[in-house]
Structure 1
Amino acid sequence: MQIEFLALLAFGVAVLYSSVGHGGASGYLAAMALAGMAPAEMKPTALALNILVAGLGTLRFLRAGLFEWRAFWPCAVGSIPFAFLGGATVTADVTYKRILAVVLVLVAIALVTPIAKDRGGRTMPVWIGVGIGIVIGFVSGLIGVGGGIFLSPIIILSGWASTRATSGIAALFILVNSVAGLAGNLASLKALPDSLPWLAAAAFVGGLIGTELGARRLTPQWLRMLLSVVMVIAAFKLATSK
């Protein structure tokens, strides 16, 4: 797959994910899987792009006052050390591909599943938040994502924050988890591809557009459908490859 097309996919992923405060790692991983990149390259690249886009989203959503500290810190306390441990965990390429395939299918389903209306206002029990953070943190570090795609629906459906505040929570959660996951395996930085600057530029521009869409409450439904199809195809390729 040519770098131009991969950069275009990264742009589209960043637009969609950043509009709801996410970094887009699962989307980048799907695109790289379709491109046939090695897992050793995929994880650090996805996390690096995640840090860039989630960092941008964090700044924008925090400035807009879209954040709930009480729904963030318990999850972060549990997730950060376990994202580090997940990042430090070495898995065989075949095992990694199978785990990632399952995650991509789950994310594809989440992308096309309608989210319930806001029920914000409830207080998250600290011990539950820490427990959720531990599980999400380890899985995120293991496969190379920030975990926002898992955390956001839990917060919204539990009524611990409004949909818009959840965007800010997810952005910062993804940022700290991505940094922790990458820190858990600093040696992986040597595997970053030469094409990273092009992918980073595409993701950055997509992130700028996506956060603006999020601020205006616009939802690119067609992009969600398209990305879900890409993820299912990527999952099939991962599941059938050796």
Structure 2
Amino acid sequence: MLQNENIYLFLLMLPIVSFLYSSVGHGGASGYLALMALFSFSPEIMKPTALLLNLFVAGISFYYYYKGGYFNKKLFLSFAITSIPLAFLGGTIEIDASVYKKILAVLLVFAILKMLNVFGKENGSVKQVKLWQGLFVGGIIGFFSGLIGIGGGIILTPLILLLHWGNMKEAAAVSALFIWVNSAAGLIGQLSSGVHLEIETFVLVAVALIGGVLGAYLGSKKINNQSLRYILAFVLVIASVKLFFT
């Protein structure tokens, strides 16, 4: 992994991605996957690496948002009950590399739209999520989280805001823990099916945590750096196009 000819540029961009994602309560898997796609990492490396990075960065994000008093336990449980087992199931399934790239390319669109604030803006009114809605949404997102190697927050957060199930900070706190449990379940599923983590992956964890800690702290204290989000959205667009046509 660290033998990539552009590894130093990758390591420079990695904490920037983790900073931006953790600032909104996300682990950043879609961003890490996009970066790894740009630097031509193989899907076999991309999936477990992204989930491991998610565990650390989303965990830090959740800590700061929970500490700030934004966590809605009931809202979280309505999604997590079905997402955890289905994320594990998705993690055990190995799909063709070309199919994997196409699915990831489509899912990156959610990340792009989120970074551009096209959807998922906060609304003053909050509605109670119905149990069947939470179970259905959590299950679908959980399965694809394990299958592709993401935590699912990039999809869950906009849905919470679009359907008025919570405010911005609540969505960030719930999504952070949602990402963590899905990443853990998906990674366990992958490991149980014979996938191995390279020791070099933990170097990436250390680098990502630099941006993750700072982003989570500042994000829970109100920060909005739109210029950096535009740059990240541009990177995600390039990665999505590359994935779709390779």
TM above 0.5: yes
Is the CA contact (8 Å cut-off) linking 2:116 and 2:230 kept in structure 1?
yes
Give the secondary structure class of the aligned counterpart of 2:121: coil
Counterpart among 221, 230, 244 of residue 239 in structure 1: 244
1:54 aligns with 2:74: no
Whole-angstrom distance in 1 between the partners of 2:91 and 2:154: 18
Counterpart among 67, 85, 89 of residue 89 in structure 2: 85
Q: Could you report, residue by residue, the CA deviation over 1:105-132 in whole angstroms, capped at 9, with x for unpaired residues?
A: 3321232134433335321101100000
**Greater displacement, 183-192 / 33-42:** 183-192
**Greater displacement, 156-165 / 89-98:** 156-165
Q: Could you report, residue by residue, the CA deviation over 1:16-57 in whole angstroms, capped at 9, with x for unpaired residues?
A: 010111000000000000110000000000000000001111
Aligned pairs for 1:59-78 within 5 A: 59-78=63-82
Q: Which amino acid aligns with 1:131?
A: F
Q: How far has the Cα of 1:165 moved from its partner?
A: 1.4
Give the secondary structure class of the aligned counterpart of 2:25: coil
Whole-angstrom distance in 2 between the partners of 1:207 and 1:120: 30
1:100 aligns with 2:123: no
1:36–1:57 CA distance, 2 compared to 1 (3 A)? same
Is the CA contact (8 Å cut-off) linking 2:53 and 2:208 kept in structure 1?
yes
Q: How far has the Cα of 1:192 moved from its partner?
A: 3.0
**Greater displacement, 15-24 / 222-231:** 222-231
Count matched residues: 241
Is the CA contact (8 Å cut-off) linking 1:46 and 1:144 kept in structure 2?
yes
Counterpart among 138, 155, 174 of residue 169 in structure 1: 174
Per the alignment, residue 203 of structure 1 pairs with 208
Q: Which amino acid aligns with 1:71?
A: L
Whole-angstrom distance in 2 between the partners of 1:199 and 1:189: 22
Whole-angstrom distance in 2 between the partners of 1:143 and 1:120: 33
Q: Could you report, residue by residue, the CA deviation over 1:83-110 in whole angstroms, capped at 9, with x for unpaired residues?
A: 0111111101111111111111332123
Whole-angstrom distance in 2 between the partners of 1:79 and 1:221: 31
Percent of matched pairs sharing the same residue:
44
Is the CA contact (8 Å cut-off) linking 1:29 and 1:46 kept in structure 2?
yes
Give the secondary structure class of the aligned counterpart of 1:184: helix
Is the CA contact (8 Å cut-off) linking 1:137 and 1:147 kept in structure 2?
yes
**Greater displacement, 201-210 / 232-241:** 232-241
1:151 aligns with 2:165: no
Whole-angstrom distance in 2 between the partners of 1:11 and 1:68: 28
Whole-angstrom distance in 1 between the partners of 2:187 and 2:159: 24
Whole-angstrom distance in 1 between the partners of 2:26 and 2:187: 17
Q: Which amino acid aligns with 2:9?
A: F
Is the CA contact (8 Å cut-off) linking 2:92 and 2:193 kept in structure 1?
no
Whole-angstrom distance in 1 between the partners of 2:29 and 2:193: 16
Q: Which runs of 5 or more structure 2 residues have no equivalent in the other structure?
A: none
Is the CA contact (8 Å cut-off) linking 1:85 and 1:141 kept in structure 2?
yes
Is the CA contact (8 Å cut-off) linking 1:119 and 1:157 kept in structure 2?
no
Q: Which runs of 5 or more structure 1 residues have no equivalent in the other structure?
A: none
Which portions of structure 1, spanning 4 or more consecutive aligned residues, are displaced by more than 2 angstroms? Answer: 113-121, 187-195
